[in-house]
A and B are shown apart, each in its own frame.
Chain A
Amino acid sequence: MLCAPAVIAMLAVTAYPIVYAIGLSVQQVDLRFPEEGGFVGLDNYTAVLGSQLWWTDFFNTVFIMVTTVAIELVLGMAIALVMHRAIFGRGVVRTSVLIPYGIITVVAAFAWQFAFSPDTGFVNNLPLISDEMDWFGGRFSSFAVIIMAEVWKTTPFMALLLLAGLVTIDNQLYEAAKVDGASAWQRFTRITLPLMKPAILVALLFRSLDAFRVFDTIFIMTRGAQDTESVSILGFNQLISRLNLGLGSAVSVLIFVCVFLIAFLFVKGFGTKLEEGRPGA
Chain B
Amino acid sequence: MERGSRDYALWSIGIVLVLAFALLPVLWLISVSLKPPEAVTDGRFIPSEFSFDNYKSLFEGGIDDSPFIKPLINSIGIALITTVIAITLAAFTAYAIARLEFPGKRLILAGALAIAMFPPISTVGPLFDMWRALGLYDTWLGLIIPYLTFSLPLAIYVLVAFFREIPWELEQAAQVDGATPFQAFTKVIVPLAAPGVFTAAILVFIFAWNDFLFAISLTSSDASRTVPAALAFFTGESSFTQPTGSIAAAAVVVTVPIIVFVLFFQRRIVAGLTSGAVKG
Residue of A89, A92, A120, A156 touching B43 (CB-CB under 8 A): A120
Q: Does A54 reach chain B (CB closer than 8 Å)?
A: no
Contacts of B104 in A (CB 8 A): 3
Contacts of A13 in B (CB 8 A): 123, 127, 145-146, 148-150
Most chain B CB atoms below 10 A, which of A12, A111, A122, A252: A111
Interface residues of B in 192-211 (CB under 8 A from A): 203, 206-207, 209-210
* In contact, B123 and A18 (Cβ under 8 angstroms): yes
Given A111-B28, A114-B28, A279-B117: A249 touches B126 (CB 8 Å cut-off): yes
Residue of A20, A86, A122, A206 touching B44 (CB-CB under 8 A): A122
Given A82-B11, A115-B25, A252-B125: A110 touches B247 (CB 8 Å cut-off): yes
**12 further contact pairs, Cβ within 8 A, besides A3-B108, A100-B25:** A10-B152, A12-B149, A14-B123, A107-B231, A111-B26, A111-B29, A199-B278, A209-B117, A215-B121, A231-B121, A232-B213, A255-B119
* Interface of B: prevailing SS: helix
Contacts of B125 in A (CB 8 A): 17, 21, 24, 235, 239, 245, 248-249, 252
Contacts of A206 in B (CB 8 A): 116-117
Q: Does A152 reach chain B (CB closer than 8 Å)?
A: yes
Given A277-B277, A278-B275: A245 touches B116 (CB 8 Å cut-off): no
| Chain B binder among A62-70, A133-141, A159-167, A172-180 | A159-167
Going nearest first, the 3 A-B pairs with the smallest beta carbon separation are: A279-B116, A164-B274, A13-B149
The chain B residue sitting closest to A19, CB to CB, is B126
Contacts of B261 in A (CB 8 A): 102
| A216 to B215 alpha-carbon distance, docked (Å) | 11
Given A95-B266, A102-B206, A114-B244: A120 touches B110 (CB 8 Å cut-off): no
Q: Does A112 reach chain B (CB closer than 8 Å)?
A: yes
* In contact, B277 and A235 (Cβ under 8 angstroms): no
Q: Does B157 reach chain A (CB closer than 8 Å)?
A: yes
Q: Does B135 reach chain A (CB closer than 8 Å)?
A: no
Residue of B14, B92, B121 touching A252 (CB-CB under 8 A): B121
Q: Does A108 reach chain B (CB closer than 8 Å)?
A: yes
* In contact, A6 and B93 (Cβ under 8 angstroms): yes
* In contact, B43 and A94 (Cβ under 8 angstroms): no
* In contact, A120 and B242 (Cβ under 8 angstroms): yes
Contacts of A164 in B (CB 8 A): 274, 277-278
Q: Does A186 reach chain B (CB closer than 8 Å)?
A: no
| A266 to B32 alpha-carbon distance, docked (Å) | 42
Residue of A88, A111, A125, A163 touching B25 (CB-CB under 8 A): A111
| A233 to B273 alpha-carbon distance, docked (Å) | 28
Most chain A CB atoms below 10 A, which of B96, B121, B279: B121
Q: Does A128 reach chain B (CB closer than 8 Å)?
A: no
The chain A residue sitting closest to B40, CB to CB, is A120
Q: Does B154 reach chain A (CB closer than 8 Å)?
A: yes
Q: How large is the interface on B (under 10, 10 to 19, 20 to 34, 35 or more residues)?
A: 35 or more
Interface residues of B in 59-108 (CB under 8 A from A): 89-90, 92-93, 95-97, 100, 104, 106, 108
| A213 to B120 alpha-carbon distance, docked (Å) | 8
**Shortest CB–CB separation between residue B193 and chain A, in angstroms?**
15
Given A14-B115, A125-B43: A105 touches B212 (CB 8 Å cut-off): yes
* In contact, A82 and B25 (Cβ under 8 angstroms): no
Contacts of B146 in A (CB 8 A): 13
* In contact, B259 and A92 (Cβ under 8 angstroms): no
Q: Does A144 reach chain B (CB closer than 8 Å)?
A: no
| A28 to B22 alpha-carbon distance, docked (Å) | 48
| A82 to B16 alpha-carbon distance, docked (Å) | 11
**Shortest CB–CB separation between residue A72 and chain B, in angstroms?**
12
**Shortest CB–CB separation between residue A105 and chain B, in angstroms?**
6
1/0 per position for A221-243, CB-CB distance to B under 8 A? Answer: 00000000001100110011000
Given A3-B97, A9-B148, A17-B126: A279 touches B157 (CB 8 Å cut-off): yes
Given A2-B96, A100-B22, A125-B43: A213 touches B217 (CB 8 Å cut-off): no
1/0 per position for A96-120, CB-CB distance to B under 8 A? Answer: 1111111111111011101100011
